[in-house]
Amino acid sequence: MKKTILFCACHLFALILLAQKSKGDPDLPGFGKVDKADLEMKQCDFDNKAEAMVMVDDGSLEYVYGSGTELKKRVRIKILNSKGLEWANVHLRYHSERNDEDITSLEAQTYNLDDAGNVVITKVEKKLIYEKKINKKFSEKVFTFPEVRVGSIIEFKYKHSNIGLIEWQFQRPIPVKYSHFVIDFPEEIEISTIPSCSHQYDHKKEEKSTRVIHTFSMSKIPAFRDEPYIINEDFYRDHLDIKITALNFAGRREGRTVNWLQVIRFLMEDEDFGIQLKKNIPRTADLDAKLKSVKEPYQRMKTIYKYVQDNMQWNEYGGIWAFDGVKSAWKDKKGTVGEINLILVNLLKDADLDAHAVLVSTHENGIVNTTDPGTYDYPGFNQFDKVMAFVEIDKKFYVLDATEKETTVHLIPPDVILSEGLVIEKIETFDWGWRTLWNKDLSSKNVVLITGEIDDKGKLSGEVTITSYDYARITRLQAAKKGKDKYTEKYITASNSGMTVDGVEFENLDSDSLPFVQKIKFSQALNSSGDYTYFSSNILSGLEKNPFIADSRFSDVFFGTNQSYMVYGNFVIPDDYTFEELPKSIKMIMPDTSISVVRGANVSGNRLMTKIQLDFNRPVYPASQYADFQEFYKQLFDLINEQYVIRKKK
């Protein structure tokens, strides 16, 4: 993140700070002190599915005079099975661009029991800890624990200097037996601690000499395992946020919190953001020629958007800023997300369209807290990782990201759909403010046509034509552009292990005005028993496997869009076979009517025609309703995967 609204340095230097070492938890075992019983442990007593367990997660964040904030951290992990061995590979990331942060005092060691039952310690040698540069902003300390096997305990500790204010994560992908975090700041710096926790935690606040110490702890925290259709894992994990709310010096209190108006005003005056929106982007002759005969506002927007998409190359850097300026990026035909999309806003405004910059947070980045505009030291714009163009035409709005090549002009970019965007404009215009980036009329739609023939050896051969619209088009197109092998792996073989793919062809791969068509020739051996052969009409629909088999869930189910699946089958069986009693035609509706499914079938001679129509009219299902949702989904998949039975005539 580039920007902070810095408070005057003299305020901090005026603080008379007594750097005191905060006391750790006296109940925690010291570094290097391991019980034999822990090494003999076979499984986690509160999560028997765990491949590993964090036994100790201990941290202290302290403001040290002359050095800023310093994090001291210690982690101890028990390896419970072979899958847990991956935890022996450690990557510690830090900001290295200006040499302002560093990780030091790093110690790491492995504990094992020998044949005689003695604890054996194997240290990680300093020469095996190496630096890895991630990009121009970040580096990592990387090392691997030696002598790690199932049953081992690994432990490491380090100091992270000048880290700033951090988010403490209580919950991890593996269970945590005990998490302990201390925040130790001088009384002159007022902080606010903001827990976001679904499990019980302890909090103690103490005032010692000139320090204020907060201690948080949590025990037996269940693993936060990967859940399908989750918008952002970090948002749902139990965690603690910290921010500075005020400074007290010379008998005067200075508040550090800001409001969104201040944030917007700062952005509009910033050289790398608002000033860039005032730059005159030189129009090119070919763009002028394209716009000359286009008068209708929607078509003008579409023309400019497509032109920037086609002529600007993204350099893979995100963010909201135009560090090198929009004119330089336009000249080089290459830039950051911020530079490219601020260029887009400029060109749209120049074409007399009602266009503004909108700050967004992608699903991967996290969910924006619209009630927290932040502080002078960490303003609210740091919650966002992209800027896009926001255009209003005939009481409809459009959100445009010219770095996304597959997203057509009428679609809200899928990585921000159903999120909150902050439209940025001069305060006096009243055109700024929050907008929910959602359009109920846009959906993910797949139409699947299956033609198949079953031979007398029980082999089904045929062709499936999948026509993908809107958001379904984007996701499938992205896989297809990585090659037919990648597409086949993701959409065919991953869910249909017994299927042989005899050919894959694509249509409209490079057309943004037509649906994406995929044609797959396939064959597969069907299950048979005696004179009976069984098959499903739900083939390559994307609905072959139920993703919601877990009995419980931490996070909301986030589809992001409404969805529609239409699956039509046409199957021919051998003349000497006949159909047994067909599954009944049925319609099933979720109690809140947000999901409906229709299944039907009819027979004409040796030909079976089937239909499945499934509609989702809700993009999110809260975790509190998961039990009902999961039960309906189970019934749904039982219904669409019910087998058809044919029998050899006697």
Average pLDDT over residues 92-98: 89
Residue 336 has pLDDT above 50, yes or no: yes
Band of residue 28 on the pLDDT scale cut at 50, 70, 90: confident
Do 420 and 370 contact (CB within 8 A), yes or no?
Answer: yes
- According to the model, what pLDDT value does residue 3 have? 55
Residue 331 has pLDDT above 50, yes or no: yes
Band of residue 26 on the pLDDT scale cut at 50, 70, 90: low
Do 614 and 597 contact (CB within 8 A), yes or no?
Answer: yes
Q: pLDDT tens across 473-494, in order?
A: 999 999 999 999 999 999 999 9
**What's phi and psi for 12, nearest 5 deg?**
-70, -40
Rounded distance between C-alpha atoms, residue 327 and residue 341, angstroms: 12
Rounded distance between C-alpha atoms, residue 236 and residue 238, angstroms: 6
How high does pLDDT run on average in the chain? 93
Residue 430 has pLDDT above 60, yes or no: yes
Question: In this structure, what DSSP letter does residue 615 have?
Answer: E
**CATH level 3 topology of 9-23+35-255:** Immunoglobulin-like (2.60.40)
What architecture (CATH level 2) is domain 443-648?
A: Sandwich (2.60)
Q: Percent of the chain scored above 70 by pLDDT?
A: 96
Q: pLDDT tens across 156-168, in order?
A: 999 999 999 999 9
Residue 117 has pLDDT above 60, yes or no: yes
Band of residue 581 on the pLDDT scale cut at 50, 70, 90: confident
Residue 217 has pLDDT above 50, yes or no: yes
Q: pLDDT tens across 409-426, in order?
A: 999 999 999 999 999 998
Rounded distance between C-alpha atoms, residue 245 and residue 623, angstroms: 33
Amino acid residing at 26? P
Rounded distance between C-alpha atoms, residue 140 and residue 90, angstroms: 9
Band of residue 631 on the pLDDT scale cut at 50, 70, 90: very high
- According to the model, what pLDDT value does residue 1 have? 46
218, 288, 289, 310, 391 from 351: Cα distances, Å: 57, 10, 13, 18, 12
Q: Percent of the chain scored above 90 by pLDDT?
A: 87
Band of residue 577 on the pLDDT scale cut at 50, 70, 90: very high
- According to the model, what pLDDT value does residue 283 have? 79
- According to the model, what pLDDT value does residue 136 have? 74
Q: End-to-end CA distance of the chain: give it in Å, rounded.
A: 75
Do 416 and 360 contact (CB within 8 A), yes or no?
Answer: yes
Pick the CATH number of 260-436 from 1.10.10, 3.30.310, 3.30.565, 3.10.620: 3.10.620
Q: Tell me the DSSP string of 100-147.
A: --EEEEEEEEEEEE-TTS-EEEEEPPGGG-EEEE-SSSEEEEEEE-SS
- According to the model, what pLDDT value does residue 14 have? 39
Question: In this structure, what DSSP letter does residue 47 have?
Answer: B
Structural domain spans, the chain: 9-23+35-255, 260-436, 443-648
Band of residue 21 on the pLDDT scale cut at 50, 70, 90: very low
